[in-house]
Amino acid sequence: MPVVVATLTPLDGHVQDVLDAFGVASPLVHAEKGCELYAVHTDGTRVVVVERWTEIEDLQAHSEGTAIGELNRLNAGHLASPADVLVVENVPIGDPRKGTIQ
């Protein structure tokens, strides 16, 4: 069950543009096969998406799908650098409820 942490660095003054792009793309991603979590966050400077997919094949289909294409189109010219995307797996430690994203 892959977890993805994607960090985007918008150009100065473009955080809201990037959030608006997710406003369009996230509902499309939520409807994709195997999407269990696709949660957008910001600290006002960077935008961090935490994702979980049922199977690695679902993540692969997502990364080649229309929603991510639309997201990339909307974000064009608004990012200081390419997104930093980490695909990781949970290491269950401690309290099962707090040690794994539910």
CA dihedral 28, 55, 59, 98 (to 10 degrees): 80
Considering only the stretches 17-25, 55-63, 70-78, report the one whose residues sit in contact with its own copies under the rule CB under 8 A.
17-25
Task: Report the chain's terminal Cα–Cα distance, integer Å.
Answer: 12
Closest separation between CB of residue 29 and its own copies, Å? 8
Is residue 89 at the binding interface for its own copies, with CB under 8 A as the rule? yes
Alpha carbons 49 and 62: distance in angstroms, whole number: 14
Closest separation between CB of residue 87 and its own copies, Å? 6
Q: Residue 102, SS3?
A: coil
* Site residues for its own copies per CB under 8 A: 3, 5, 7, 19, 22-23, 26-27, 29-30, 35-43, 46, 48, 50, 86-91, 93-95, 98-102
